[in-house]
Chain A
Amino acid sequence: MHLDMGGQIGKDPWFITGISILLLLGFLAVAGPFLVPYDPYDISFSPLDPPSADHWLGTNDGGMDILSELVFSLRNTVIFGITAGTAGLVLGVITGLFSAWAGGWADQVVMRLADVVLALPSVMVLILLAAFFQPSPVVLALALACLAWPTTARGVRAQALTLKNSLHIKAAQRMGGSGRYIIARHLMPELFPLYLINFAAKTRMAVFMEASLAFLGLFDPGEKSLGLMINYALQYYYLDIWYNWLMPPILLLSLLIMGATFVTVSLEKIFDPRLRKTV
């Protein structure tokens, strides 16, 4: 089942749309700070100005340029998402592969642990963490990863178990291949599609989670984040700021999550042929 990945992905409109959105937002996040006109922490402008030639999206209650703030918030949110996504993926892959390869009681221990973690409501845990320890966003992202790995681990384990019994891996074992060799040479690369899907899904989840936590005011108020921006904007909802202050972060957040969702769906569809007809 060797797939012509490039060809199939390139033709999928879901993927093209999703990846275009993500690339655009990614470009904004990476290059944004050099493009925006003002320092987002600069409070020297008059507060709550409507959009003008100087401030395309106007200014907020603290007299900061909303456009600059938006770009910086996007950057922070993306960093949070990627950190949590990567950490969660790495944790999940390691535990999943270990569990599948070791088998026996080690497998049981890891999988029961995964069940326990899955049973925890992650939003509640994060709220408690954020409220009690007021950790930096990176620590929070890692904490999120610690809660998010079980789904990845389960997927990786299931795939690895199937693969472990496939003939070419049995052949490699019979040739004298060690567990380390087979994991590194056969299992890890073979599961690559799974990593992509899981990474996209986890990142999406993290972005959403970050926005939620910030919206709930559980973030350092001095930070910049899309969720925080929505939180602040909502405090002035009785003013006419919905289109220049409230909507842009909501739009960006939605785009970000949409892009990640499109890519995830498209990858799942391509790498799991059974989904192709139903989606």
Chain B
Amino acid sequence: MTIQIKDLTIYYQDLDHALLALDRLDLALHPGKITALVGESGSGKTTLGKAVMGLLPKNARAEGSISLGRTQIMGLDEPGMNQVRWSQIAMVFQNGAASLNPVHNLADQVAEPLVQKGIGRTKAMAAARDLLARMGIDAEQAARYPHELSGGQIQRGLLAMSLILDPQVLILDEPTAALDAMTKVFITRVIQDLRRAGKTILLITHDLDLARNLADDIAVLYLGRIMEHLPGTDLVDRPCHPYTLALVRAFPFMDGMRELGGIRGDAFFRMVHAHAQEDGRTHAHVHVAAPDAVHQGGHAPPQGCLFQPRCTQAVLDCSFGDIDVTACGTHQVRCIRGGIARILSFEKVAKSFGKVKALAPTDLTLMAGEVFCLVGETGSGKSTLAAIAAGAVIPDQGRRIFQDRDMDTWMKTDFASLAPKIGMIYQNPAESVSHRLTVFDIVAEPLHIQQQEGDPEKIRARVLAALADVRLSTAPEFLKRYPHELNMGAVQRVCIARALVHAPDLLIADEPTSALDPSVQAKVLKMLLSLQIEKGLTMLFVTHDIGLARKVADRIGVMANGTIMETGAAARIVNHPEQACTKMLINSARGQDTRSPGIHP
């Protein structure tokens, strides 16, 4: 049976304040389909499950509608709900061991609903044992008490309990949390069987791996609103909303290559004032303590996009109005920019130096908030491409579009406003800074050039903040040091601070760590990646080392002879390379002898 959720809003009331848990949520669950609900803790996933079960706590206030088939089940009285609950809609709760009765054995508890329905005890026990056996729990184990069972056995027991009345709708709240991988696979198989049996399944989970393996479609929930609704298969490769991308990046997928990255900032609570109105309904508006405390004290923005304070591509318009859902391919995204925006795109960009064709006509798109790695052997045109992206080299042909503006015109008319939006880190840190400048002067140079700040105190504050960002000392003695007095790693950090001091949107790093030894490289990269997350930077990372690239990149582009041969998610490129040059790069990186088409010994 289909479950239709329409315009569902739920508050948890607390004296004069209320916590907005779900906000005008629309979702349809279909028979034979698994819908996964993913999102950070506090996004309202479990509240939705409980609302469908009619098990909301007393202080919850719900508006909107939930219908099961043609029956409206929201607002049903308790006897009416009892008809539906467990027999038609069942739920497996999170932290299930707590919902078992410690003084009854497992089989007893599984059989109990049947007994309640008036089926004879012997028959009920037989059915329970049968069902438990299908869950991989034999009669001997079924006769045990909850404290004698393992977590995996309990989880399977709970699943059996929810299935004993053969409900058509199943809500699974974190069915695999705290389970080992083997048990997880077993549970996954059980859930797949249930889907084949035509059950309507709502899977509530943190586990993106489970969601992408099981779910037909996925709803990404943030602060009670669905940010993106997408087919399960697209979760890892083609997320459209910045929040989905951030969630994916934070999840330890087995085939994930990149270092884990969190989502910048913290989730908020949506506190609202609830005013009773004459018609008895509540009128809610977002409570803000003080104008400048909008993003502090746990308050979400009062209007505009909820994710805006943490987003990597927020623009001014994101702070206003109510953001509606738009289509992004087959996905539905709640984003004013129509999903993850393109920050830079190349259309047939080419460059030659004299007779040398450095770059054949190339198309390239960088999405906001991603780390894109260009990999290839020396002379493959990587650095040329990076220099063109940075605006340091003018291409012979083609169009460059940066933040929806034509970059060439922008450069000609107003380079001063474009320059601070792109930061650059160079291969050789010692050469990319003037030996006559102190650490302070080096980091302050972009600010001096841009002259955005006239106040020396403000410049100083920004320089110190940038140095603190790259984990360098901000002591006055250190600021007076010259680059030749520092080690390479520290100089490269200074360079990174210089690139970040005017808060760029795009950071271009051309072999930023190749002059560093591996241990320093590891430290600098870790720092760079955490900065990338914190600042929401888009990064174009150029390296010849595919082993390094897979640790850094969300996407990899493999270059050879001035052409991008192959682009794709880092894991895909490394695990399933399609092009010969990619395979060769990977094999060479593994130390296997390969013949390069570019180098003839």
Interface residues of A (CB under 8 A from B): 1-2, 166-177, 181, 186, 189-190
With contact pairs A2-B482, A167-B428 given, residues A175 and B435 touching in the complex (Cβ less than 8 Å): no
Distance in angstroms from B484 CB to nearest chain A CB is 4
Q: How far is the CA of A167 from the CA of B483 in the complex (A)?
A: 14
- CB-contact partner of A175 in B446, B482, B483, B484, under 8 A: B446
Question: Are the CB atoms of A176 and B416 closer together than 8 Å?
Answer: yes
Q: How far is the CA of A172 from the CA of B415 in the complex (A)?
A: 13
4 closest cross-chain pairs (CB), A and B: A176-B419, A2-B435, A167-B431, A167-B432
Question: Are the CB atoms of B416 and A174 closer together than 8 Å?
Answer: no
Q: How far is the CA of A181 from the CA of B435 in the complex (A)?
A: 17
Question: Are the CB atoms of A181 and B449 closer together than 8 Å?
Answer: yes
Pull 17 A–B residue pairs with CB atoms less than 8 Å apart, ordered by A.
A2-B435, A2-B484, A166-B431, A169-B434, A171-B424, A171-B433, A172-B445, A174-B390, A174-B391, A174-B392, A174-B419, A174-B422, A175-B419, A175-B450, A176-B419, A176-B446, A186-B434
Q: How far is the CA of A166 from the CA of B424 in the complex (A)?
A: 15
Q: How far is the CA of A93 from the CA of B88 in the complex (A)?
A: 90
Question: Are the CB atoms of A174 and B436 closer together than 8 Å?
Answer: no
- Cβ-based interface call for B49 (8 A): no
Question: Are the CB atoms of B446 and A190 closer together than 8 Å?
Answer: no
Chain A residues positioned under 8 Å from B419 (CB to CB)? 174-176
Question: Are the CB atoms of A171 and B426 closer together than 8 Å?
Answer: yes
Q: How far is the CA of A174 from the CA of B450 in the complex (A)?
A: 11
Q: How far is the CA of A2 from the CA of B483 in the complex (A)?
A: 9
Q: How far is the CA of A141 from the CA of B416 in the complex (A)?
A: 44
Identify the closest chain B residue to A174 (Cβ).
B392
Chain A residues positioned under 8 Å from B449 (CB to CB)? 172, 175-177, 181
User: Chain B interface residue count: which class?
Assistant: 20 to 34
- Cβ-based interface call for B489 (8 A): no
Identify the closest chain A residue to B434 (Cβ).
A168
Question: Are the CB atoms of A189 and B436 closer together than 8 Å?
Answer: yes
Question: Are the CB atoms of B482 and A176 closer together than 8 Å?
Answer: no
Chain B residues positioned under 8 Å from A175 (CB to CB)? 419-420, 445-446, 449-450
Question: Are the CB atoms of B432 and A168 closer together than 8 Å?
Answer: yes
Question: Are the CB atoms of B445 and A174 closer together than 8 Å?
Answer: no
Q: How far is the CA of A103 from the CA of B418 in the complex (A)?
A: 25
Question: Are the CB atoms of B446 and A168 closer together than 8 Å?
Answer: no
Q: How far is the CA of A70 from the CA of B428 in the complex (A)?
A: 58
Chain A residues positioned under 8 Å from B446 (CB to CB)? 175-176
Question: Are the CB atoms of A176 and B415 closer together than 8 Å?
Answer: yes
Question: Are the CB atoms of A168 and B433 closer together than 8 Å?
Answer: yes
Q: How far is the CA of A172 from the CA of B432 in the complex (A)?
A: 9
Chain B residues positioned under 8 Å from A181 (CB to CB)? 449
Q: How far is the CA of A173 from the CA of B446 in the complex (A)?
A: 10
Q: How far is the CA of A167 from the CA of B419 in the complex (A)?
A: 17
Q: What per-residue 1/0 map shows which CB atoms of B406-444 lie under 8 Å from chain A?
A: 000000000110111010101010011111100000000
Distance in angstroms from B223 CB to nearest chain A CB is 38
Identify the closest chain B residue to A171 (Cβ).
B432
Contacts A174-B419, A175-B449 given; 10 further ones with Cβ under 8 A?
A2-B436, A167-B426, A168-B433, A171-B424, A174-B422, A175-B445, A176-B446, A189-B436, A190-B434, A190-B436
Distance in angstroms from A158 CB to nearest chain B CB is 19
Q: How far is the CA of A174 from the CA of B422 in the complex (A)?
A: 9
